A = this chain, B = another copy of it.
Amino acid sequence: MGDGSARREQIIAIATRLIASRGYSSTTVRDIADEAGILSGSLYHHFASKEAVLQEILRTFMDDTLSHFERIVASGGSHREHLDQLIEHAFLTIEQRPDEVRIYQNETGFLMTQPGFEFLVDGAARIEELWIEQITAGQCDGVFRDSVDPRLAFRFIRDAVWSTVFWYRPGGRHTASSVSANYLELLHSGLLAS
């Protein structure tokens, strides 16, 4: 478990694509095996179970995302810059690893209650903490308006940003960074004129 043979990584890649497009419970072990060119039983030489595949996908995603976020807030810059960078990194992730984001967005709600997926709860909590720290600190600095509840602001931003994964398609009207810029402007200054 966890050693990265080429086969394993190929299977993870296939599973990620399939689960993202069909959902975890509608993706069968045979679907994955078929695309890997092996029989479904043979998958069990690489993974202990279907759930283990999902765990590995989500754990990798969560680890990467969290460590990026940690690096951002540990870097030099103002709290406002940090918040903007967190948002920009989210959009970058959506562009570069949309399948993982989709899986995370779709399956995480139910999975968080399941044994073996505690790392999702922990990771989400840590992320919430990191973001809220930036907002709260930015309010202390007088950069962010005091009247907004930091927790609500965090969820507002988080949900608006990550949800774009469901409709953003590269090559369409917008690039990830144009969406990012628009969202940031709206978030910074609001919808009302003057």
Is the CB–CB distance between B110 and A182 below 8 Å? no
Given A148-B182, A156-B183; A190-B193 close (CB under 8 Å): no
Most buried by B among A110, A152, A153, A189: A152
A128-165 CB contacts (< 8 Å) to partner B: 135, 142-149, 151-153, 155-157, 159-160, 163-164
B residues in contact with A135, CB < 8 Å: 191
Is the CB–CB distance between B152 and A179 below 8 Å? yes
Q: How far is the CB of A101 from chain B (nearest CB, A)?
A: 13
Query: A188 within 8 Å of B by Cβ?
Result: yes
Query: A23 within 8 Å of B by Cβ?
Result: yes
Kindly report how many copies of this chain are found in the complex they form together.
4
Is the CB–CB distance between B148 and A185 below 8 Å? yes
Is the CB–CB distance between B145 and A191 below 8 Å? yes
Contact with A145, one of B145, B157, B189 (Cβ below 8 angstroms): B189
Query: A74 within 8 Å of B by Cβ?
Result: no
A165-194 CB contacts (< 8 Å) to partner B: 166-167, 173-174, 179, 182-183, 185-193
Q: How far is the CB of A100 from chain B (nearest CB, A)?
A: 16
Given A148-B191, A152-B183, A192-B144; A166-B25 close (CB under 8 Å): no
Query: A5 within 8 Å of B by Cβ?
Result: no
What are 12 A-B residue pairs whose CB atoms fall within 8 Å in the complex? Answer: A25-B26, A109-B166, A144-B191, A145-B189, A145-B190, A145-B192, A148-B185, A149-B174, A152-B182, A159-B160, A160-B160, A188-B190
Residues of A near any B CB (own CB < 8 A): 22-23, 25-26, 80, 106, 109-110, 135, 142-149, 151-153, 155-157, 159-160, 163-164, 166-167, 173-174, 179, 182-183, 185-193
* Known contacts A135-B191, A152-B174; 4 further A-B pairs (Cβ under 8 A): A26-B110, A148-B182, A156-B160, A159-B164
